[in-house]
Amino acid sequence: MKVLVLYDYPPTPGGLATQGDLLYKGLLELGIDAHAVHYESPQEKEWYYRWFKPDIVVGVGYWGYTPQLILHPQRYGVQPVPWLVADGYIANYQEILNELPLILVTSNWVKEMYVRDGIKDEIIEVLPVGCNTDTFQPYSKDDPKIQAVREALGVTPEQLMILTVGGDAASKGAQEVMEALSIIDKKAPAWKYVCKVWPQPRTKLQNLADLELATKLGIEKNVTYTTNTISRNFMPYLVGACDIYAAPSRLEGFGMPQVEAGACGKPVISLKAMGMLDTLVHGETAFLAEVARKIVVNEVMVGGESGFEDKHRVVFNSPRTVDYRANVQDIAKYLLRLMTDAALREKMGKSARTHVVEKFDYRVVAKRFVQIMNDRLGIS
C-alpha cells in the first residue's frame, strides 16, 4: 500500500495538522510506504503523483477543502479518500462527495451530520483521531516540568488547576464552566481556572467578553487566560499540570484535547453530545453534562471558502442545530465532586488513560485505517 497524506505539513500545533501527522507517523511505524505533503501545495502534490504513484491520497480537513483534497488528485487519476470533520452544516460539494467510494469521518456524530446533509450513509466510515500516548502520559506533580508550568501560570501548590484548551475558550464551553465555578466557589477547595487559547484577532475579542463575564460573576481573580503560541512539545506538560480538564464544548466533532487529557490521566468534564459520545465514558473516564440548549438556525451565509460567491445565502428546508450549550448545574455538580474527592480524580484518570491507550493510540488508529482500506477498497 502506498499512501500520500495531505494535511497542514510540516505540522503546526492545530488539531487538523496533528490529526494528519499522527496518521502519517502511525503508517510509517507499520511499515506502510507513505509520504506527507501540504494540502495546498499543488506543485508538490503533482510531483508525488508522478513519481510515487500512490494507491490512495488521504486528505485531512472539512468538506470545504474538497478542491484540494478530492478534485486535485482526481485530476491526475489518483484515488482520493478524504478524512473529514464537520463544522455544523455541509453546504456544498454533495455531488462530488457522493461519487467517492469511501469517505472517512472522525466520529459517529460527524457521520450523522454528513448523512443529514445529503451524503450517502454507505460510503462513510468512522476513523477516530489518534493520540500520541507516549508523550501524552501521566506525570508526577513533583516533576520539575509540571511544577514549572503551574508556577508560570500562577497556580499555587494548594490550588486545584482546571484547564480548558482551544482556539478560543468560549467554543469549548468556558463560559459555562465559569458560571458553574461561581455557583460552587464557596464550597470548593482553592482553585484556579486556566484557559489556553491561540493568539488571533477573533480570540482577543472573545477573551475580553469571557473576562467580562468572570468579573460579573466575581471570580476574575481565579481565572487566567493565556494566549501564547506554543508547540505540541509543551502541550503534554500543560495538560499534565492540571487536576481536571473541563471542556463542555459547544461544537465538537471529536474532542482531541479531551482525549489527550485522558491520556495524561486526567478526569474530564464535557457534554453528553456530538463526538464526546464516542471518546468519553460517562461516570468512568469523564462526567458528561446534559444538553441545556440547542442553537438552531434557519439559514446561513457562505462564501468562497465553501465554493460559492461571497455572501451566498442558504435557506434550510428544516432548521439546523449549529451549536450546543451544556447544563451549568450539571457542570457545577460534577466539578464539586471531582474537586472534593482526590481518590475519585485518580480513579477516573486511570480509567481514562486505559481507555485512550486501547482505543485512540495513533498506532491503533493507523491499523484501523489499513484494515478499512483493505476491506472497503481492496488495497493492501
Residue 306 lies in a domain: no
Domain presence at residue 321: no
Any bridge partners for residue 124, and if so which?
103
Q: Tell me, what CATH number does 93's domain have?
A: 3.40.50.2000
Q: What is the pLDDT of residue 355?
A: 98
Provide the percentage of residues in the chain whose pLDDT is more than 70.
99
Give the pLDDT score at 343.
Answer: 98
If asked whether residues 177 and 210 sit together in one domain, one would say yes
Report the mean per-residue pLDDT for the chain: 95
Residues 111 and 151 in one domain: no
Are residues 339 and 207 part of one domain? yes
- Whether residues 216 and 337 share a domain: the answer is yes
Look at residue 91 and tell me whether its pLDDT is greater than 90: no
136 in a structural domain: no
Lowest mean pLDDT among 106-120, 267-281, 304-318, 353-367: 304-318
Task: Decide which of 301 and 359 is more confident.
Answer: 359
Domain contains 320: no
What total of structural domains would you count in the chain?
2
Reply yes or no on whether the pLDDT at 230 is more than 90: no
pLDDT at 306 over 80: no
Note whether 97 and 213 are same-domain residues: no
What is the rounded average pLDDT of the residues 143-149?
A: 98
The verdict on 69 and 153 lying in the same domain is no
User: What pLDDT is attached to residue 312?
Assistant: 77
Same domain, 122 and 225: no
CB 258 within 8 A of CB 239: no
Asked if 263 contacts 131 with a C-beta cutoff of 8 angstroms, the reply is yes
Q: Does the structure show a pLDDT above 80 at 307? A: no
| Domain assignment of residue 91, given as a range | 2-130+361-377
Confidence grade of residue 42 (pLDDT, cut at 50, 70, 90): very high
- Is 311 part of a structural domain of the chain? no
**Do residue 254 and residue 351 come from a single domain?**
yes
Give the pLDDT mean for 202-231. 90
Residues 350 and 368 in one domain: no
Q: Is residue 307 situated within a structural domain?
A: no
Please report whether residue 54 resides in a domain. yes
Query: Comparing 167-181, 192-206, 260-274, which segment has the lowest mean pLDDT?
Result: 192-206
41 secondary structure, DSSP code: -
Same domain membership, residue 117 and residue 31:
yes
The pLDDT of residue 301 is 78
Residue 163 has pLDDT above 90, yes or no: yes
- Residue at 299 is within a domain: no
Looking at residue 223, its pLDDT comes to: 96
pLDDT of residue 155 exceeding 80 = yes
Q: What is the DSSP letter of 232?
A: T
Q: Are residues 39 and 105 in the same domain?
A: yes
Q: What is the pLDDT of residues 360-377, one digit of tens each?
A: 999 999 999 999 999 999
The arithmetic mean of pLDDT across residues 345-371, rounded, is 98
Residue 88 has pLDDT above 80, yes or no: no
User: Percent of the chain beyond pLDDT 90?
Assistant: 84
Q: Are residues 275 and 184 in the same domain?
A: yes
